Structure 1
Amino acid sequence: MTLQYDVRLIAPQQTLPLRKKVLKPFLSEEECVNPGDDLATTYHLGLFHSNQLVAISTYILESHPDFSAGFPYRLRGMATDETFRGQGFGQILVRHGVEFLKEKRCDLLWFNARIKAFPFYERLGFYYHGPLFEMKDIGPHKTMYKVLVPK
């Protein structure tokens, strides 16, 4: 069976309901806004299935102090609606985001991943960096990364 979907750029506000529902249910939608969401260099991607937004990801131009990169992006707010998990939509969206960033000449994509998402990102070819750390109200995380354009 072929998945029917459409990936496209969306407005920052369109990410907020899923960010709240999936990632930060203890916050209001307004509190789920990330610093940098409104920058011209920030990209918000949405995956639509049957005209319903089922997965989101945000890519913010941001360096990490431990990585040497010329044009690094940070993945923030990756979320797939629980109803649509396990169907491949999240992987499709991240792969699309990686290809999109490669076209922009991004050389490194990094993010802080929750423990339960480790296998998901490992399957997509991301690597771990540094120790496990705690994020208030959310739980343990580890930085993960992928080199997109070799130096």
Structure 2
Amino acid sequence: MSLQYDIRKISTAETLDLRQRVLKPFLSKDECINPGDDLITTKHFGLFHECKLVCIATFILEPHPSLSSGFPYRLRGMATDEKYRGQGFGQILLRYGVEYLRQKRCDLVWFNARIKAFPFYEKQGYQYFGPLFEMKDIGPHKVMYKPLIPR
């Protein structure tokens, strides 16, 4: 069975419903706006299945304080509607976003990963950096990253 989907750039506002429902249900949608969301260098991608937005990923041009890189992007707010998890949509969207950034000369993608997402990111080739840390109201996280070879 092949997955039917469409990936396109979306606005900050289009990410907020999934961000709030999946990642931060204790906040309002407006409180789910991240610093840097509206910068021209920020890229929001949405994966649509049967015309419904089912997966989102935001990439913000932002260095990690300890991971050196020339052109790093931070993944923020990656979320898949729970009805569509386990079908490969997250993997497809993540790979799409990373390939887009690689073509723009990005050489590192990093993010703060929740424990429950560790296996997903490990399968995509991401590595851990530093100790486990707590994010208020969300739980334990670890920095994960992947160096990219720009094309």
TM-score past 0.5 threshold = yes
Number of aligned residues: 150
Matched, 1:6 2:9: no
2:144 match: secondary structure: strand
Q: Deviations over 1:91-145 (max 9, x none)?
A: 0000101101101100000000000000000000000000000000000000000
Once the two structures are TM-superposed, the CA of residue 149 in structure 1 deviates from its matched residue by: 1.7
Partner of 2:146: 146
Q: Percent identity?
A: 72
CA distance in 2, matches of 1:68, 1:124: 21
Partner of 1:112: 112
Q: Which amino acid in 2 is paired with 1:53?
A: L
Once the two structures are TM-superposed, the CA of residue 52 in structure 1 deviates from its matched residue by: 0.2
Runs of 4+ in 1 over 2 A off after TM superposition: none
Partner of 2:94: 94
Once the two structures are TM-superposed, the CA of residue 81 in structure 1 deviates from its matched residue by: 0.1
CA distance in 2, matches of 1:19, 1:62: 20
CA distance in 2, matches of 1:43, 1:149: 19
Q: Which amino acid in 2 is paired with 1:61?
A: L
Instruction: Return 5+ residue gaps in structure 1 as ranges.
Output: none
CA distance in 2, matches of 1:82, 1:67: 32
Partner of 2:123: 123
CA distance in 2, matches of 1:6, 1:36: 25
Partner of 1:23: 23
Partner of 1:37: 37
CA distance in 2, matches of 1:25, 1:62: 25
Q: Which amino acid in 1 is paired with 2:123?
A: R
CA distance in 1, matches of 2:149, 2:110: 13
Following superposition of structure 1 onto structure 2, how do residues 79-90 of structure 1 map, counting pairs within 5 Å?
A: 79-90=79-90
Matched, 1:76 2:73: no
Q: Which amino acid in 2 is paired with 1:87?
A: Q
Following superposition of structure 1 onto structure 2, how do residues 56-71 of structure 1 map, counting pairs within 5 Å?
A: 56-71=56-71
